[in-house]
Amino acid sequence: MKLSAYNIKGVKLADWTLKPADLGEPNDSLLAQALRIYQVNSHQNTSRVKTRGEVVGSTRKIYPQKGTGNARHGSRYAPIFVGGGVAHGPKGIRAQALSLPKKMRRLALKSALAYKLKETALAGLINPDEITGKTSATTSLFAKIANHPKNKTLVIIHNNNDKLYRSLSNLQRITLKRDNLINAFDLVSADFVVVTKESLAALVARANNKLIADKK
């Protein structure tokens, strides 16, 4: 299993090799379950509507019960009228957050990485510390590697990189994150993922429940 690695000028220099056991085959059902939980937990659930009993206004009967030829109505705030209450609408009550066990989170991350590698939507970035911090140079770099801005791009780093952060801060459809903050939803949401060698090693280690020593 290989992924292409590029330098800061967008030139392909090498292929990084991953062992088949590092990622394995994607687990579709587990990944779908994890994505659903991440999406549900990201909702604010603040939307709320009024029922017919909560709409403030006159309680006068619209028209007489009989003699008009129209259907019988008692309140102008019934759900069938414009300006009336809403039946079975959202109540603004936040549902209990769904949880996902650690092992399932790791396997979902592993499956998401495997999918990106299988779709050739994963590439490596060599020596990101050499980036100058100029937005124009960084724009050209990710246009070559990830076809940005056509592709929504996720850049994953291991250590903080102020120059890279500064050069990406004004660009749309590109996100910079540290590897310890990445989950399966982040990977699947991006069209293309760019990783450094250290961040890739950290993600693979976390997906396989292994510890690696941080390089200072």
Per-residue pLDDT at 211: 66
H-helix or E-strand containing 32? helix 28-42
Tell me how far apart the alpha carbons of residues 6 and 203 are, in angstroms, rounded to a whole number: 19
> If one looks up domain 2-41+99-207 in CATH, what number appears?
3.40.1370.10
Per-residue pLDDT of 77-123, as tens digits, reads 999 999 999 999 998 887 778 899 999 999 999 999 999 999 999 99
Per-residue pLDDT at 65: 94
Shortest CA distance to 13 belongs to which of 4, 25, 23, 22?
A: 4
Per-residue pLDDT at 216: 43
Per-residue pLDDT of 125-169, as tens digits, reads 999 888 888 888 899 999 999 998 899 999 999 988 888 888 888
Shortest CA distance to 86 belongs to which of 96, 77, 95, 98?
A: 77
Is the peptide bond preceding residue 20 cis, with omega within 30 degrees of 0? no
With 70 as the cut, is the pLDDT of residue 32 above it? Answer: yes
User: Boundaries of CATH 3.40.1370.10 in the chain?
Assistant: 2-41+99-207
Could you give phi then psi for residue 192, rounded to 5 degrees?
Answer: -145, 140
With 70 as the cut, is the pLDDT of residue 66 above it? Answer: yes
Q: Sheet of 122-125: strands edge to edge?
A: 12-17, 2-6, 122-125, 192-196, 153-157, 174-178
pTM above 0.85, yes or no: no
Instruction: For residue 156, list its beta bridge partners.
Output: 177, 195
H-helix or E-strand containing 105? helix 102-118
DSSP-derived 3-state class of residue 17: strand
